[in-house]
Structure 1
Amino acid sequence: MSTYPLPIRVAAGLATVTVEQTRQLPAQLLGLPLTVASQALQLSMRVQQQITELAIRGDETLSAWQGTEDEPEWATFDEDEPPPPAEQRLVNVAEPTDGSDVLAEYDGMSLPQLRGKLRGFSADEVEELLEHEQRNENRVEFVRMLTNRLTRLRGED
């Protein structure tokens, strides 16, 4: 076997690879758009990740310089507002008629309706609602909400 110089051997190898790649080209062309799109999406996601990481680090740096508010002035909570006057309450506790506490409109309320109106009740009224619920339907969610509200009201006294 004769030894050819390195440049000739490299040229022959390059020609062989070129012929093989040319034969496989039609099959590769079919998948080329999908490959290009996939690589573009990957690059886009990497760039977005890096931008997000930079923004997070910038937020951390800026918050260290600026400081943070404990409670924004626009944030209000139910406990911050005074309860409405008794005449504005939408559901009133009815007077007992047959020895038991009958509550006007209460039994027809849904949980969100009760939650919306509960803030206007005094501790005694909430206790009355709780006793009524426990004696009648004893719905777990209602009992829990009334108990939590009563605890808060009693803690404020």
Structure 2
Amino acid sequence: MSSAPYGVRLLVGVAVTAVDETKKLPQTILMAPMTLASQLAQLVMKLQQDLADFVIRGDATLEALFPPTDEQAEWAVFDEDDSPASAPAEPAEPRTEGRFALYSVSGEDAAAAARAERSATAAPADRTAPPVAVEIDYDELTLAQLRSRLQSLSVDELEQLLNYEEAGKARAPFQTLLANRITRASAK
């Protein structure tokens, strides 16, 4: 402990702090606009959150006072309203364009593939599954599940699966996956 009086120690501490802050002044001046902008953005976001909270509370109160009716506005038209309920739903055509397309084919090829898939699912095929297909439960696998199991199969087993797929469902993504794996495995 210092033997100096309390007041002297206080003045020395204030002086040292003033000198340190003066040394930091150029950096503080440079950072001031960013700090101010950050604090302003924080204030605006807080205000938006508070306003949204008020609106949510207002909606809840109004809904409690005036319960909504289940009436459909006369101007609201939905797809279900246009089609009769008794009409059987046709299977959707596979997507051949756009972001969700699994593969690209011409319109005629897509229609043929859709017909082949419908006929494959409509009537059970008289094909026998190779042992490897039964072992990995091939008919129930998704494309991602099959991809994860391909590493453990031999080229012969992969060829059996490809032949089985071509003779049965003939799904292009599955055929492509199997053919690519056969090519990579054969190259090793």
TM-score normalised by the chain length of structure 2: 0.42
Q: TM-score under structure 1 normalisation?
A: 0.50
Structure with greater Cα Rg: 1
